[in-house]
């Protein structure tokens, strides 16, 4: 089973700042990695798939990069609605597909 | 717009069977190219994929739960269901149903239900 590690656990930033979130896989997942956003009391929402492709309706301030074992989600100029928990998920070597433990982006 | 809604008991006794149903609207579960999954979330283990089903009945389960899980589909009702046997307190979680939509050569969870909290207690 591929283990995903996310860092940092918490990121405290102000609106307008850039957020850089990291996801590392225990073995290569090629580019089969997704990012999800989850707000309190809601289900996760697909943001990025195949490491760098934005899902339908996702603003351009969200971007993903990386391949192999190291991936980054960047949120340019944080909006108030972007403060949430972000999870990465791999679909390279499954079952099972696995999720990272999450990074919480909160307001500084 | 595809929508999913979980339903089922919010409280299950230890050692009994957890049963949940996901009702899909806005599109048929029998549409080719989509898989339908159950995922759960706990504070301790985070998000955990339980398994998926295709409209044909093909299933795939998380090896860690495989011995206790059955996922089935009812295309006439546009629903799919989860049964988890011999539950313990460790199975207490928010359970989500989700659609695996095809994106290029892979599948990702693009539509989710709102989630339902299931508590296991004696």
pLDDT tens by residue, A19-54:
999 999 999 999 999 999 999 999 999 999 999 999
The answer, for A49 touching chain B at a CB cutoff of 8 Å, is yes
Q: Which residues in chain B (4-43) have CB-CB distances under 8 A to chain A?
A: none
By CB atoms closer than 10 A (0-12, 13-18, 19+), residue B38 is buried
The rounded distance, in Å, linking the Cα atoms of A50 and A32 is 5
Grouping H, G, I as helix, E, B as strand and the rest as coil, residue B1 is coil
Longest Cα–Cα distance of chain A, Å, equals 39
B44 — pLDDT class (breaks 50, 70, 90): confident
Q: Are A39 and A15 in contact (CB under 8 A)?
A: no
| Mean of all residue pLDDT scores within chain B | 95
Using CB atoms, which residue from B103, B104, B112 is nearest to A43?
B112
pLDDT at residue number B32: 87
What distance in Å separates residue B94's CA from the closest CA in chain A?
10
pLDDT at residue number B70: 98
The answer, for B107 touching chain A at a CB cutoff of 8 Å, is yes
The rounded distance, in Å, linking the Cα atoms of B43 and B25 is 29
Q: Do A101 and B49 touch (CB under 8 A)?
A: no
Q: Do A32 and B63 touch (CB under 8 A)?
A: no
Q: What is the DSSP string of B52-100?
A: EE-TTS-EEE-TTTTTTEEEEEETTTTEEEEEE-S--GGG-EEEEEEEE
- CA-to-CA dists, residue A67 to A15, A97, B6, B22, angstroms: 29, 17, 35, 34
- Whether the pLDDT of residue A10 is over 90: the answer is yes
A74 — pLDDT class (breaks 50, 70, 90): very high
Token pair listed for B116: 């339902």
Q: What is the DSSP string of A28-56?
A: --TT-EEEEEE-TTS--EEEEETTTEEPT
What distance in Å separates residue B40's CA from the closest CA in chain A?
11
- Whether the pLDDT of residue B7 is over 90: the answer is yes
| Mean of all residue pLDDT scores within chain A | 96
Q: How do strand B3-7 and strand B59-61 relate by DSSP bridges?
A: unpaired
Q: Which residues in chain B (45-74) have CB-CB distances under 8 A to chain A?
A: 46-49, 51, 60-64
Q: How do strand A103-107 and strand A10-13 relate by DSSP bridges?
A: parallel
The answer, for A83 touching chain B at a CB cutoff of 8 Å, is no
pLDDT digits (tens, 9 = 90+) for B61-114: 999 999 999 999 999 999 999 999 999 999 999 999 999 999 888 899 999 999
């Amino acid at each position: 089973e591929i283990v995903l590690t996310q860092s940092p656990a918490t990121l405290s930033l102000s609106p307008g700042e850039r957020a850089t979130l990291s996801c590392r896989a225990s073995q290569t997942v090629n580019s089969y990695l997704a990012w999800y956003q989850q707000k309190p009391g809601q289900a996760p929402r697909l943001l990025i798939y195949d490491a760098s492709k934005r899902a339908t309706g996702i603003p351009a301030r969200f971007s993903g990069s990386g391949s192999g074992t190291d991936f980054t989600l960047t949120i340019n100029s944080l909006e108030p609605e972007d403060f949430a928990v972000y999870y990465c998920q791999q679909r390279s070597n499954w079952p099972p597909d696995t999720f990272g433990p999450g990074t919480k982006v909160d307001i500084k | 717009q595809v929508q999913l809604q979980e339903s089922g008991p919010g409280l299950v006794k230890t050692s009994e069977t957890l049963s949940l149903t996901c009702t899909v609207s806005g599109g048929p579960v029998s549409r080719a190219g989509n898989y339908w999954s159950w995922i759960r979330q706990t504070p301790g283990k985070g998000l955990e994929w339980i398994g998926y089903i295709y409209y044909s009945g093909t299933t795939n389960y998380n090896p860690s739960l495989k011995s206790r899980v059955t996922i089935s589909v009812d295309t006439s009702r546009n629903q799919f269901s989860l049964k988890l046997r011999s539950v313990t307190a460790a199975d207490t979680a928010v359970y989500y149903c989700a659609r695996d939509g095809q994106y290029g050569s892979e599948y990702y969870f693009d539509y989710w239900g709102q989630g339902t909290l299931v508590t296991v207690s004696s």
